[in-house]
Structure 1
Amino acid sequence: MRRLTIALAAALLWPAGQALAWWDEGHMQIAYVAYKKLTPAARDRADALLKLNPDYSSWIAGAPAGQEKLYAFVHAATWPDDIKMKTDYYDDQVTDSTARQLVPYGHLKHAYWHYKDTLLSADETPLPRPDPVDAVSQLKLMIAKLPANSDASDALRSYSLSWMIHLVGDLHQPLHAIARYSAALPDKGGDRGGNEVQVVAANGEKLPLHFYWDRIFGGYSSVFGAIRDADQDSGLSAVAPDAGKAQIVDPATWAQESFELAKTVAYAPPVRADKQPAELTREYETNARETARKQAALAAARLANLLEALLR
């Protein structure tokens, strides 16, 4: 409960538009399951790149002997969210000339890199033009830079990997692939992926729909806690992803899948298209948890397959 309270408090204080996905627990569990699937050679190459991240020493602080590489990889999954709280990293806009640029550890937060909003009108409310820079556009650039035979420096490859581990998880959270507009929410951003839509969970807590989905795996976590939770009998390690889907390593396809799940599961009744709170049903919450588990397991498998191919 303490971890959840801390995460929810942090989310409520977060600047508008800077959404988290899966919170620490979800991202770390995805990274952990992915790491277990990598070959030793791919793990070593990933670790060599992550060592160039300026936060590497803090990632491995307190790691059990022999587990430093694992702890670094798992902790790296939260780095693009962690920098949002760093005083030496700065807000920027999707319209800036630097929005597309991959600058190794260049101190910009790039909050708009965390999602790919396909726009949806709930009631024929006019839609604006989608943002030109998003999680899909940037992840494709990072994928192109990661191989050793690319024209990228090791610093750029390190930066790309630090973001990739996180963004694969982001794109499998359905509400990071959609923005729904309605007469009640017609302005730029619409409902911001459910951030402007209120729901009431089974425990009576009222919170934004986006937060409800982000916290399905828990909130703030240590690496040890995330690994423990993933390895529990009913944890993420026990979820078998669809083998065929796991081979799909196209970020645009991932985003489209998440968009469809947002429409059919995340926005399913009783969720409303306005700001009036909706009391979630047992059926909704069961479907949400099962969908989240399947998406996280798929994200872990796809991350492993992608890195195995790129880190040869």
Structure 2
Amino acid sequence: MLLAALSSLFPPPAAAWSRDGHRIVGHLAEAELRQPARAEVARLLAGEPDPTLAGISGWADTLRDEDPVRGKATAAWHYVNFGDRGCRFDPSRDCRDNDCVIGAINRSFLALSDRKRPLAERRDALKFLVHFVGDVHQPLHASPRRDKGGNDFQVNIGGRGSNLHAVWDRNLVGSRRLEPDAYASVLRRLPAPRDPTLASTTPAVDWALESCRLVDQPGVYPRERVVGDAYLAKHRPTAERRLRQAGSRLAALLNHALGN
């Protein structure tokens, strides 16, 4: 996948959930880690500038600029496109060669779980997993429309031009004006997802399909292409619920992968 293809699909300003959104997911997950997983996370992240799940949550996005070769190779791992075919997953069509966020989550989980693999490989797998679980819960990273995850749907917000993807990445969360750790504390008061354990054999597929169906809900695409306070107030609870789900589900993955 060429780096140019990533730029046309998800321009650099529209990284899922923004830096703060990913940090919120990391804070939420860290609060639900059991001790064995917590200890292994600490071992794997020793030496990182910020050796926490929140601290490494945005690493996968930084590869675009800091390691362009690797950024190019992992570009397609941040999303899955269903096109205009509805919310039905066909691996050979939607995730060829496992080159989508679903395949990336599964691959990272397996690498992290395998203690025979080199520490550096498992560290990167952890950093990828934290990020991609966040990505798949941003509805427009699993879209049933042919508009590049809402990047081609132009809107006006606060008198400025933007696009729907950026609104869901940044504005819904940013309009709360809370620091990530404080925001996570607020979201922890929400009910935990009903699936904190990995009952499904295909959780990443399920999470992507949830996102896809949310994109199809009435009102997500504003008719007048103007996004104001009413839009943000209406859809913020959905974004917050997805962040809450991402945090608990990420913790469940890590507790399962690192609990022995």
Q: 2: CA distance between counterparts of 1:217 and 1:77?
A: 16
Q: Which has the higher helix share?
A: 2
The answer (yes or no) to whether the contact 2:29–2:53 under 8 Å persists in 1 is no
Q: What is the deviation of 1:109?
A: 5.3
What is the TM-score with the length of structure 2 in the denominator? 0.81
* TM-score normalised to structure 1 length: 0.68
Q: Aligned pair in 2 of structure 1 residues 42, 209: CA closer, same or farther (>3 Å)?
A: same
- Among 53, 67, 77, the alignment partner of 1:113 is 77
Equivalence for 1:310: 257
For 2:219 and 2:205, how far apart are their aligned partners in 1?
Answer: 19
> Which of the residues 166, 178, 182 maps onto 2:143?
178
Determine if the alignment matches structure 1 residue 199 to structure 2 residue 155: yes
Alignment of 1:168 with 2:133, yes or no, is yes
User: Over aligned residues, Cα RMSD in angstroms?
Assistant: 2.7
Cα distance between partner residues in 2 of 1:268 and 1:198: 10
Counterpart in the other structure of 2:118: 153
The match for 2:195 is: 245
Query: Retained in 2: the 8 A contact 1:179–1:192?
Result: no
Gaps of 5+ in 2: 1-5, 87-92
Q: CA deviation at 1:107?
A: 6.8
* Residue aligning to 1:58: 49
Q: 1:143 aligns with which of 82, 103, 109?
A: 109
Kindly report structure 1 stretches of 4+ aligned residues shifted beyond 4 Å: 106-109
Q: 1:57 to 1:283 in 2, by over 3 A?
A: closer
Q: 1:197 to 1:157 in 2, by over 3 A?
A: same
* SS class of match (1:15): helix
Structure 1 pair 134–266 and aligned structure 2 pair: CA distance change class (3 A): farther
Amino acid at match of 2:196: A
Q: CA deviation at 1:269?
A: 4.3
- Gapped runs of 5+ residues in structure 1? 1-13, 60-68, 92-105, 123-128, 182-190, 271-276
Name the % identity.
Answer: 27
> Once the 2 structures are TM-superposed, how far is the Cα of residue 152 of structure 1 from its aligned partner?
2.6
What is the match of residue 230 of structure 1?
A: 184
Structure 1 pair 207–108 and aligned structure 2 pair: CA distance change class (3 A) = closer
1:42 to 37, 44, 47: 37
CA contact (8 A) 1:80 1:109 kept: no
Amino acid at match of 2:68: Y
Distance change >3 Å, CA 265–CA 40, structure 1 → 2: farther
1:260 equivalent to 2:210? Answer no
When the two structures are aligned, how many residues end up with a matched partner?
Answer: 238
Equivalent in the alignment of 1:297: 244
Matches within 5 A, 1:4-43: 15-18=7-10, 19-43=14-38
Deviation sequence 1:278-310 (CA, Å, 0-9, x none): 123665433320100000000001001111111
Q: Which residue of 2 aligns with 1:126?
A: none
Task: After TM superposition, give the deviation of residue 23 of structure 1 in Å.
Answer: 0.4
Rg comparison, structure with higher value: 1
Conserved? CA contact 1:174–1:266, under 8 Å: no
Counterpart for residue 285 of structure 1: 232
Counterpart of 1:207 in 2: which secondary structure? Answer: strand
Q: 1:85 aligns with which of 61, 65, 77?
A: 65
